[in-house]
Amino acid sequence: MKKIIKKQKIVILFVVAHLILLTMYFFMPIIQEGVSVQMFDLTMFKGFDLAHAQTFVSELSTQGKTYYLFLQIPLDFLYPLLVSTFFYLFFLDQTRNKKFAVIGYSSMMFDYLENIFVIIILTRATLTNELVSVASVVTIIKACFYVVNYGITIVLLGRCRYLKGCPIRSLIEKKRR
């Protein structure tokens, strides 16, 4: 019974994290209204350069900047914490290896760094190529670690589909009883 409750918490953590992500996606069009380039968070694997950053900052409305700094960024600190905790707990549950499970927090570290750089970029009077280049690299690394973590999750879910102990399988089996 205790193990089922633990697995339910893992699934709930995943759902709550992605409800927050959905909320962030809901506000993105408001932030990007009138902006001809993508938000920094969305540049994922291609990154961005100084011209992109300057265009984004100059075209960003006061309302967009407020939403970005005081709604999007706080949510973007909460989402990585929740989803990375899900990754960690799920990896630990499936592998029983704490050192491996810590990989789940890699995406959070780089997402937090990206958020700090976005705050700096949005509040600084002038931007430098060096600042924007480092921020762009952090964004690319963050995206890579999210792909790694979701990839590991998919592999472990595929593996556990046939093994007892899978969070989703145990929830389904519990409801059938």
* Nearest residue to 44 (alpha-carbon basis) of 104, 107, 91, 102: 107
pLDDT along the chain (177 residues), means of 10: 72 96 96 95 93 97 96 97 96 93 97 98 96 98 97 90 59 53
Q: Which domain holds residue 22?
A: 2-176
pLDDT at 170: 52
* pTM metric for this prediction: 0.87
Q: What is the pLDDT of residue 168?
A: 54
Q: What was the pLDDT predicted at 6? A: 75
- Name the nearest CA neighbour of 56 among 67, 65, 46, 69: 65
pLDDT of residue 144: 97
